[in-house]
Amino acid sequence: MDRLESILKEKIISDSSAGGGCIADARIVETSSGAKYFVKSYSSVGSAILRNEANGLRELEKSNAIRVPHVVHQDNEMLVLEYIRSGSRKKNFSEIFGMQFAEMHKFTSDEFGFFENNFIGSTPQINLPRSINWIDFYWNNRLLYQYRLAEQNGYVSDSFSNSFMQLEKRVPLILEGSEEKPCVLHGDLWGGNYMTDENGNPVLIDPAVYYGHREADLGMTYLFGGFDSGFYKAYNEHYPLPSGWEERIDIYKLYHVMNHLNLFGTGYYSHALSIVKSYL
């Protein structure tokens, strides 16, 4: 606590656990002035993930479209964030969320990827080298990378291998017609990676940021729930998606299903294989 007090330049009067995810230790601290902070540390993957999360939050903040926790401090041991008090959703929360998420996706770059590699969960996410070709980037840095991890982990059968190699030839056709400029992505948006602030508005947390195709961000939202029809309707009204986006959602879900296969084991094997075969 002495070190944190030195960073905050205030005495800490309370320190309580905030629960947290699979790999993070999260705490809420309050200082003598009444200010509160959200403090995260990681025992397994260490300083890299702290830096990556801080940089991701800063990148999302640049879009000035949707609230994210402001980074107060980050070093090799801890990430100190603005504490955001949770509140009840506004009646039109989903519509606000969809519109703000669409506005965030208007923040663009010239290349796919990011200035550093980061993590998707505790799995490395490869963002370098950057690319001007989305199909090449998505295949090599997302799907093929996860496939090779699955091979190393012993999760790839002959059936999966044969189908996956056929998918490689199909990907250009699957994604044809959806070309857009690279835009900033949250990268891991499911129901557990957003919250409602004290004013009833959405807040994005725990990002895996890179610049990619916005349909990839939406693909993850379909995987584990947490988003209703109002979210997607508002998104499309504010920033219409290219024709045929519904048929491409599963190819973007595949990255996350394969990551869950690598993180949690064979319970995700059938789902991954069924997505691959659905495009053949």
We report the CATH number of the domain holding residue 22 as 3.30.200.20
> Which tokens go with 41?
């540390």
Instruction: Evaluate whether residue 236 is within a structural domain.
Output: yes
C-alpha span between 24 and 40 (Å, rounded): 6
In a shared domain, residues 67 and 97: no
C-alpha span between 128 and 39 (Å, rounded): 29
Conformational region of residue 140, where left means phi above 0, alpha means psi within -120 to 50, and beta covers everything else:
alpha
Domain end call among 61, 82, 103: 82
pLDDT the model gives residue 152 = 97
Instruction: Evaluate whether residue 204 is within a structural domain.
Output: yes
Domain end call among 82, 105, 138: 82
In a shared domain, residues 75 and 109: no
Residues 6 or more apart whose CB falls under 8 angstroms from that of 239 comprise 102, 103, 105, 106, 214
In a shared domain, residues 129 and 155: yes
C-alpha span between 181 and 212 (Å, rounded): 8
Provide the domain count of the chain: 2
Q: Which residue range forms the structural domain that includes residue 185?
A: 93-278
The tens-digit pLDDT sequence of the chain (280 residues) is 778 989 999 999 998 888 655 567 889 999 999 999 999 987 655 688 999 999 999 999 999 999 999 999 999 889 999 999 999 999 999 999 999 999 999 999 999 999 999 999 999 999 999 999 999 999 999 999 999 999 999 999 999 999 999 999 999 999 999 999 999 999 999 999 999 999 999 999 999 999 999 999 999 999 988 899 999 999 999 999 999 999 999 999 999 999 999 999 999 999 999 999 999 9
In a shared domain, residues 121 and 55: no
In a shared domain, residues 78 and 97: no
Catalytic residue among 75, 110, 188, 197: 188
pLDDT the model gives residue 77 = 87
In a shared domain, residues 124 and 70: no
In a shared domain, residues 195 and 136: yes
At 179, the amino acid letter reads: E
In a shared domain, residues 136 and 196: yes
pLDDT the model gives residue 44 = 58
In a shared domain, residues 190 and 272: yes
Instruction: Evaluate whether residue 117 is within a structural domain.
Output: yes
Helical H segments across the chain, by residue range = 2-8, 47-62, 93-104, 134-137, 144-153, 158-175, 214-221, 229-238, 245-264, 269-278
pLDDT the model gives residue 258 = 98
Q: What share of the chain is helix, strand, coil (3-state, %, to 5)?
A: 45, 20, 35
> Which tokens go with 151?
């091979």
In a shared domain, residues 64 and 202: no
pLDDT the model gives residue 194 = 97
Instruction: Evaluate whether residue 88 is within a structural domain.
Output: no
Active site annotation includes 188: yes
In a shared domain, residues 175 and 199: yes
| pTM (global) more than 0.75 | yes
Instruction: Evaluate whether residue 87 is within a structural domain.
Output: no
We report the CATH number of the domain holding residue 183 as 3.90.1200.10
pLDDT the model gives residue 45 = 57
Domain end call among 56, 82, 108: 82
pLDDT the model gives residue 60 = 98
pLDDT the model gives residue 46 = 66
The answer, yes or no, to whether the previous bond of 182 is cis (omega within 30 of 0) is no
Instruction: Evaluate whether residue 255 is within a structural domain.
Output: yes
Instruction: Evaluate whether residue 267 is within a structural domain.
Output: yes
pLDDT the model gives residue 175 = 96
Q: How far is CA 233 from the centre of its chain?
A: 21
Going from the C-alpha of 98 to that of each of 26, 54, 102, 275, the distances in angstroms are 28, 24, 6, 26
Angle CA 93–97–99, to nearest 5: 120
Confirm if 223 and 187 have CB atoms less than 8 A apart. no
In a shared domain, residues 98 and 146: yes
Instruction: Evaluate whether residue 230 is within a structural domain.
Output: yes
